[in-house]
Chains A and B, each alone.
Chain A
Amino acid sequence: MDNGFLSVLATLLTGAETALKVSLGAAVIAMTGGLPLALSVVFTRIALVRVVIAVYVEWMRNVPALAHLFVLYFGLAAVGIRLTPLTAAIVGLGMVGAAILCDVFVGGLRALHVGQREAALAVGLTPLQSLRFVVLPQMLRLTLPSIGNYASQLIKDTSIASAIAAPEIMFYARNLVTSTFQTPLIYATAILLYASIVLPVSWLFALAERRLEARR
């Protein structure tokens, strides 16, 4: 039994590498996409910009991630754009993440008192400087819990990529099941593996939150 567990774990760990790659890639897209989107929504005076972004965000958030991945992997392939499973997973989860973080950041920006930015401008800082030194640091503290939530969710969502044959944990798990029939052991190991990644991540964020609170 012990031997079985270790070999199962070894196989699944190969998948963990992919899961982390997907998480990191999607997270980067989500952050670098979500923040500009949020800033646009809050600071633009052009209504059309807000509408377009709203449509994007609502579409991404109200349609299941699996559907987005299928569109990117199977759908685009049918019109000649062939993405690898890994790419499709990163882009798909990244785009959904950008939508989620856009909402999070918009909420954070709106919760910050308008006076904060006005005071910064009054003191002579440029809008960009006010953003960098006054608004964004505070917003980061405010939204950290939500970002932590998103991070945990993202790591779990990488499991969906197994459906488009990305070689991550669940993909290996399902293959193992068909070849060795040690079903409970395999899925239990997979579950433990995810828990052992997600729990430390959420604890880290909780720690960071407490640290930031203490500094106030």
Chain B
Amino acid sequence: MSEFLDTYRTYLPEWWGRLCAAVGVTIELSTLGFALAILLGTALVLMIRSRWRFARLAANAFVQFLRAVPLLALLLALYFGLPSFGVTLSSFWAGATGLGLQGSAYVAEVLRGGLGAIHRGQREAGLAAGLPPHKVFLWIVLPQALRIMLPPLLNCYVSLLKDSSLCALIATDELMLTARAMSSEFFLPLHIFLLVGLFYFAIAFPLSMLSRLMAQRLSRGRRSVGVV
């Protein structure tokens, strides 16, 4: 065991810098993917809630399909498959797009659930007070919905953070790829992959805890006496 730890003591100085730099890329990648997921997810939700049957059907089918496909397949298709159609994405952008597509299905579900959880009466009271519909949405529905949606959205981000590791398989220069490179360089796969696991944990765990805390505080504040 102490031999195990000794290895770390020897190599950590050398590994630390490389891994930290790679973490930066991982965070960039995940954040970009998350932003894309929010954009696309919002568009999907608008389509799902729209009056046009075609939009609803198309959006629902799209979401169902995305949820049935593995991220790895999407990534490989985007990176290796698109060039045949004239579109060449860098591995970073293919990664971000893949993450964004995956995330958008989840985001659409979260947005739909959050907006739907706000009781009709809230909106009616706003309209009855003489507020135009868009202000009812902005000042009454959205603030309440955001509180509900924040924890699952945070969870989505954590998911994308973990899934960004798959981008290593399309040669994106993020944490997992760096880990693989280092593991063949130093012939210490166990040490390196465990360490890298720790890196992911260090970022993901606080965020997961934060999401859990938010969700708890939310359910406590809902004493709902007539504020249905």
- Name A's B-contacting residues (CB within 8 A): 58-59, 61-68, 70-71, 74-79, 152, 156-160, 162-163, 170, 173-174, 177, 183-184, 187-188, 190-191, 194-195, 198-199, 202
Contact = CB atoms under 8 A, between A and B. Distances in A.
B81 A64 contact: no
Nearest to A187: B77
B32 to A, nearest CB: 18
A57 B168 CA distance: 25
B205 interface: yes
Given A58-B208, A66-B176, A160-B72, 16 more contacts: A59-B197, A64-B200, A67-B165, A67-B200, A68-B197, A71-B193, A71-B197, A77-B189, A78-B187, A78-B189, A156-B68, A162-B72, A173-B73, A183-B83, A188-B81, A198-B69
Nearest to A158: B70
Given A58-B205, A198-B68, A190 B73 contact: yes
Interface string B172-196: 0000100110010001111101101
A177 B81 CA distance: 10
B197 A191 contact: no
Contacts of A68: 197
B71 interface: yes
A189 to B, nearest CB: 10
Contact of B190 (A63, A65, A76): A76
Given A159-B70, A163-B169, A199-B68, A191 B77 contact: yes
A152 B66 CA distance: 12
A152 B197 contact: no
A62 B201 contact: yes
A71 B197 CA distance: 9
Contacts of B65: 195
A64 B163 contact: yes
22 contacts: A58-B201, A62-B158, A63-B200, A63-B201, A66-B176, A67-B165, A70-B180, A71-B194, A75-B189, A75-B191, A75-B194, A78-B188, A79-B190, A184-B85, A187-B73, A188-B77, A190-B77, A191-B69, A194-B68, A195-B65, A195-B69, A198-B69
Contacts of A70: 179-180, 183, 189, 193
B200 A62 contact: yes
B168 A66 contact: yes
B76 A173 contact: yes
For chain A, what secondary structure do more than half of its interface residues adopt (helix, strand, loop), or is it mixed? helix
Contacts of B81: 183-184, 187-188
Contacts of A173: 73, 76
B162 interface: yes
Contacts of B204: 62-63
A187 B190 contact: no
B29 interface: no
Contacts of A163: 169
B80 interface: yes
Contacts of B194: 71, 75
B193 A152 contact: no
Contacts of B179: 67, 70
Contacts of A162: 72
Contacts of A63: 162, 197, 200-201, 204
Given A62-B204, A75-B190, A163-B169, A170 B197 contact: no
A49 B191 CA distance: 27
Contacts of A152: 67-68
A170 B200 contact: no
B10 interface: no
B77 A156 contact: no
A202 B70 CA distance: 14
Given A63-B200, A67-B165, A183-B81, A78 B190 contact: yes
Contact of A194 (B69, B162, B166): B69
B217 to A, nearest CB: 17
B166 A66 contact: yes
Contacts of B50: none
A61 B211 CA distance: 14
A62 B212 CA distance: 13
